A and B are shown apart, each in its own frame.
Chain A
Amino acid sequence: MLSYTIRRLLGAIPTLLILIGVAFFLIRAAPGGPFDRERSLLPEIEANLNAAYHLDEPLYQQFGRYLWGLLHFDFGPSFQYRDYTVTELIVQGFPVSLTLGSIAIVVALLVGISAGSIAALKQNSRWDHGVMALSMTGISIPNFVMAPLLVLVFAVNLRWLPAGGLGDGSLRNLVLPVTALALPQIAYLARLTRGSMIEVLRSNFVRTARAQGLPTWQVIVRHALKPALLPVVSYLGPATAHVITGSVVIEQIFSRPGLGRFFVTGALNRDYTLVMGVVVFYGVLIIVFNFLVDLAYAWLDPKVRYR
């Protein structure tokens, strides 16, 4: 197990370096610089600015400097928000995004797994068809379409819930964004759980347990649930990535001041370091999460050999 962990950890390092490298050089290769204004600056001023931000150094040196900074959790200064460092902006925005994202994932897991299990246990019943039809709808309606529709119905027409913002920080403000963010994942998880649960329920060990006279619920909880949830565990990595990407638009629509909004505004303002910071931060988060999911999977599934 330990050597497996170490090998997976070493495997994650090239991914991280590629992530940081691609983002870094892509941004440097882009036309237009952070100090481009309608009036061109005096050459001396520009040279001073470039020197202050180390933009005059050769690229490999800048890259090394950036990596070194990252190791110390220093994402560099923001080019647009002059008084802030990118680290400060991330520290400011991330809790807002984390609240939204983690609640959405938990909700998606709870609802998705229960709906999928119910559909599998009552296969080909009305419940099953209902869950499957709903989940197809959930998969087909993107969250950036669902979000404004939810606002239209529940905030504009019915006036039950606020349309956006943090408000007084109460849960009411989270209901719509969490729903919009979680729905596609609920739909996907329900399909996934149903599929694997049906397969597990047909397997020999479940038949044996039933034949021994165990009550149905005990068969499900003690024998079927764990193997049926293995695909769900391995989907957790992609699910996190989807939720993070989705949160970019959801935060925009519901005007929640999280990292996603920094990313979009930073991208439009050509704020190199901020955009880099968010990409690297989220990228590392996704990679670390994938790593943890892999470990959990190896621990849960007896069939995985630690090769």
Chain B
Amino acid sequence: MSAAAATQAVPEVAGRSLWADAWRKLKGNRAAVVSAWIIGAMAILVVVGPWFAAYAFDFTDFANTSIAPSWSTGHFFGTDTLGRDIFVRTLIGGRISLMVGIVATAVSLLIGVTYGAVAGYFGGRVDTLMMRIVDILYALPFMFFVILLMVFFGRSIVLIFVAIGAINWLDMARIVRGQTLSLKHREFVEAAQAQGVEAAAIIRRHIVPNLLGVVAVYVTLTIPQVILVESFLSFLGLGVQEPMTSWGALVNDGSRELESAPWMLIFPATFLATTLFCFNFLGDGMRDALDPKDR
């Protein structure tokens, strides 16, 4: 009997069973694992790839404008109307898209977690007021505001980060608040309160670390949304400035040359769709793995 109990007590990570459990579940989800590998490969490709490419992303090869993909010219994905190499431009565009995805998500994470944790922790009137504000903001058509911002204040990458991050924190705030409400009555929080720890420190040291699971899932699902918004802006011609580019901008260029140079659309569109697809699959897998309802 005691021997059986001992073997049961051994499982690899004692005390962090939530994460171990989630990790095991996630690894069992083949679609999520494959997606994670593809995302990793994509990230390495867009970061490292341009250094090894034969052409610079803004180099115009006037002898080879709008040529179809071919190995012999070294333009694997063909060139655009100015003779710029689509392969390198797709990778460089991917750098921008992924960077926007990560940075803007970080911005929304920072705002959303802080806001949600504060509202949930303090509760009462503060909570009611803060959540009422979120409700009001929810009803606003934010995409239009982002477009206005980009139009009126110029197309800078910093503004893209901030603007997109600033519209995406509402969901995060709601989720974090809900979790905080249930966390704040737990014993470890009471213990900290009894010891006279300040509210800010309790939120930082005790509440936020316990939110990580939910936040991780949500971050994975926010990144593709953010990439999508950036592509949307770039598609409208409001994203990054030429000759810099992003997947949305490349899709826009491609859609203008549909009949004469379909490769200008197909390659960036494939990269964009694949990335979004993988992030969505990974996020779904993580939600299944970490969802407390499902255990």
Q: What is the interface of chain A, defined by CB distance below 8 A to chain B?
A: 12, 14-15, 18-19, 22-23, 26-27, 29-32, 136-137, 139-142, 144-145, 147-149, 151-152, 156, 241, 244-245, 248-249, 252-253, 263-264, 267-268, 270, 275, 278-279, 282-283, 286-287, 290
Contacts and interface: CB of A to CB of B under 8 A. Distances in A.
Interface string B260-277: 001001000100110011
A275 B248 CA distance: 23
Contacts of A287: 139
B254 interface: yes
Contact of B232 (A15, A142, A156, A286): A142
A152 B136 CA distance: 41
B188 interface: no
A141 B139 contact: no
Contact of A140 (B136, B143, B145, B280): B280
B231 A149 contact: no
Contacts of A137: 277
Contacts of A12: 139
A156 B254 CA distance: 14
B255 interface: yes
A224 to B, nearest CB: 21
B140 A145 contact: no
B218 interface: no
B145 A23 contact: yes
A270 B149 CA distance: 12
Contact of B145 (A22, A152, A290): A22
B139 A286 contact: yes
Contacts of B141: 19, 241, 244-245, 279, 282-283, 286
Given A15-B139, A136-B280, A282-B144, A27 B272 contact: no
Contact of A279 (B144, B255, B262): B144
A139 B137 CA distance: 24
Given A136-B281, A148-B254, A241-B141, A249 B236 contact: yes
A301 B141 CA distance: 26
Given A142-B232, A148-B251, A252-B236, A283 B140 contact: yes
Given A149-B265, A267-B148, 18 more contacts: A12-B139, A15-B136, A15-B140, A27-B148, A27-B152, A30-B151, A30-B152, A30-B153, A136-B277, A140-B224, A142-B228, A142-B272, A151-B255, A245-B143, A270-B152, A275-B148, A279-B148, A283-B141
B147 interface: yes
A252 B237 CA distance: 12
Interface string B206-233: 0000000000000000001000100110
Given A144-B231, A268-B151, A290 B139 contact: yes
15 contacts: A19-B140, A31-B152, A144-B232, A144-B248, A144-B252, A145-B251, A148-B255, A149-B265, A156-B262, A241-B141, A267-B147, A279-B148, A283-B140, A283-B144, A287-B139
B129 interface: no
Interface string B238-256: 1000000000100110110
List 5 tightest A-B contacts by C-beta distance, closest first: A30-B152, A148-B255, A140-B277, A140-B276, A267-B151
Contacts of A241: 141
A171 B287 CA distance: 42
Contacts of B153: 30-31
Interface string B276-288: 1100110000000
B235 interface: yes
A283 B140 CA distance: 7
B259 interface: yes
B197 interface: no
Question: Which of B139, B228, B272, B276 has the most chain A CB atoms closer than 10 A to its own CB?
Answer: B139
B140 A264 contact: no
Interface string B132-161: 000010011101110111011100000000
B258 interface: yes
A264 B143 contact: no
Contacts of B224: 140
A137 B269 CA distance: 13
Contact of B236 (A151, A244, A248, A278): A248
Contacts of A29: 152
A29 B151 CA distance: 12
Contacts of A140: 224, 273, 276-277, 280
Nearest to B144: A279
A147 B143 CA distance: 19
Nearest to A279: B144
Contacts of A279: 141, 144-145, 148
Contacts of B269: 145, 148-149
A279 B280 CA distance: 30
A142 B276 contact: yes
Nearest to B153: A30
A262 B221 CA distance: 32
Interface string B92-128: 0000000000000000000000000000000000000
B136 A14 contact: yes
Contacts of A283: 140-141, 144
Given A140-B280, A141-B276, A26 B140 contact: no
